[in-house]
A and B are shown apart, each in its own frame.
Chain A
């Protein structure tokens, strides 16, 4: 999805925000690391970034629209994050064979703030598919900022996770009560297994007299089987209008005649749907 020249774009941003001395230090170090193939200097320079570059918000952006800049804005990137990512991308671009393991090591020993940075910007790394293990490992955390970094507003999971990994992420996001509307490509990545998982989880919640986030149903439409049609009926009978909306949206895209018939039973809701008054963004 991302254009080339990520490192050039990041360099432009750094040039807009850093003073001459810091720029000179950074570029000098990077040239040295690449020339000497020095993992020691890479580690030290990476470590020193935190004392040389402040994590301030970006208040100047290079002119011209492009995907990299847009993505940095979506993720509220700060200057220190840009500096760290830039360093890693530069050395990988120069010699991925040599530096890949070193970068993996840096990620392995990251603290919470650093790990958040890596996960948010994995997608900018050269051959970013190589970091899938790091990304999947992050799904196992109970630290919300880490989980959010990989799962929310981030195209990486949709690009690189297999169905099992995607489903693991989606269910855990619901478990941790994250804002599901911030997950990218929910409908594109919907699959039969996930829909079964969603239904099972809803049954569990209902059995414990607990609510289910109506947005949680977003992936089910194309996969409504008899069990799910029953679930949709339960949503239509709920007291929460957002449940009705979710059921209507799911039934409306289903090929299952039972789902279509169910929607017909609620003409008021169907009318609203036909008038475009119901959408997933309204549910959130």
Chain B
């Protein structure tokens, strides 16, 4: 969170996207996070993804809870409305906002303390409801703002900066999201922009509950020997299953599952994501397979990254509720109020 606005001047020759926006139009205020924080890399990836998708910045609602990660919406999409709500309760606020206006793009940013502890229930229920959102957890396994306590995603046996060993089992939010029916599930690493940008872009295009767990090393409290969320540890244990690109408005590219080939996944809005599959046995349409794959690699101490599961035919909460296409926040008395004649009939039925 900052009160330092970025200077407005920029190079006139900055590249523009389809809508004529430059990269700068997707930026926000200057970050006050620690220099080198993985969260800032995620911020950069969000900016990049929104630029590439040619999203109108003000059509995004960015909602977060409380914590280091939840500060980050202030640092991107400066012309969007942001909402820094209460600790762990971002998902409910986002759900309400989405119900009010189904036409906006909803970006939920959360942390591991936010989503895996106090907000674990809200995380789970927003996923199972199929809220049309992109839910990004900036996962560093530690409470940064309160200086270094373990979060619920910290691995058992990992050590805090003060040398304390974590004796609790870790919660794997990706595994939970898969189990709860998220229709887009991915994991990435904040330092791997090549992978993360298209993942975010694809998640935004996906209609339904998209969840991305981004391992994001905490430079201050979780980047030491013994931590399983440090830069070095993640780099050593990163096992990418695929890479993907977002191709908006282009013809689909056929993909197969063989290593080195590409798989196309069609989204509801017609955009397509191309999956470049590295692991020969991996099928991103197989929820059960994804769960097994994840657990198998977790048992080896490996972190699986990439698009783990996507359902191209997903429905969202509005479809479940059969709501009108018109955003609810635009409906007025003439369409909402049954009027006095209906009330007279209602009164008559109560005598």
B is bound to A: no
